[in-house]
Amino acid sequence: MKRAEKARRIGEILDQLYPMPAIPLHHGDAFQLLVAVVLSAQTTDAQVNRVTPALFRRAPTPEKLAAMTETDILRLIRSCGLAPSKARNIRRLAQAIVEQHGGEVPADMDALEELPGVGHKTASVVMNQAFGRPAFPVDTHIHRLAARWRLSKAKDVKQTERDLKKLWRPK
């Protein structure tokens, strides 16, 4: 079976199994989604969902999170992996959103990727989930599946993303 045909069939199966996949991170808006996705690195979604209610009660907006100290943020997210650097990054990203984007999460990949702690995958998730823009977040799991299904021979997730985007174009 050719790669394009295999991709089409896999897409059909996934669409049947998961017609409207919801993001497992609890959030109220684009800012909270962005923070939750940053927190999710090296941590389970369940753990992120345990810490974000208290964080978002205290700081539901970029302005309020930017006004918190790094120490106060760390106290709220300590149980997440890499908490010290995440506390620093989410405070800095909140400050950048306030200072550079008027308090609004930018709906632009490049602008998102310039925010502290935001990589390509995080920006892709936010673009897709918060703004409904086609994006293709590829993590190590997708990378491995693409190799197993022989959809990509890439050695890294960025090339896997490029390979998969050629097979699944936005609708």
Task: Please report the pLDDT score of residue 168 as a whole number.
Answer: 85
CA 54-75-52 angle, 5° bins: 30
Check: CB of residue 109 under 8 Å from CB of residue 124.
yes
The reported pLDDT for the residue numbered 62 is 98
Would the pLDDT of 20 be above 90?
A: no
pLDDT at 171: 61
* pLDDT score, position 21: 80
Q: Which two tokens stand for residue 45?
A: 């979604």
Domains and CATH numbers, the chain: 3-16+137-166 (no CATH), 30-131 (1.10.340.30)
CB 93 within 8 A of CB 34: yes
Q: Annotated catalytic residue: which of 121, 165, 166, 171? A: 121
Tokens of 10: 């896999």
**By C-alpha distance, which of 168, 104, 106 is closest to 135?**
168
Give the global pTM. 0.89
Residue 22 has a pLDDT of: 80
Q: Indicate the SS3 state at residue 133.
A: coil
Instruction: Give percent above pLDDT 90 in the chain.
Output: 80
Residue 171 annotated in active site: no
The tally of CA atoms less than 13 A away on the side-chain side of residue 150 is: 6
Catalytic residue among 45, 108, 139, 163: 139
Q: Answer whether 150's CB lies under 8 Å from 3's CB.
A: yes
- pLDDT tens per residue across span 65-121: 999 999 999 999 999 999 999 999 999 999 999 999 999 999 999 999 999 999 999
As given in the structure block, the two tokens for residue 137 are 């977040």
29 is catalytic: no
Work out the average pLDDT over 33-55.
Answer: 96
Tokens for 101? 């984007």
pLDDT of 29 higher than 80: yes
Q: Please give the sequence-ordered ranges of beta strands (E in DSSP) within 12-68, or none if there are none.
A: none
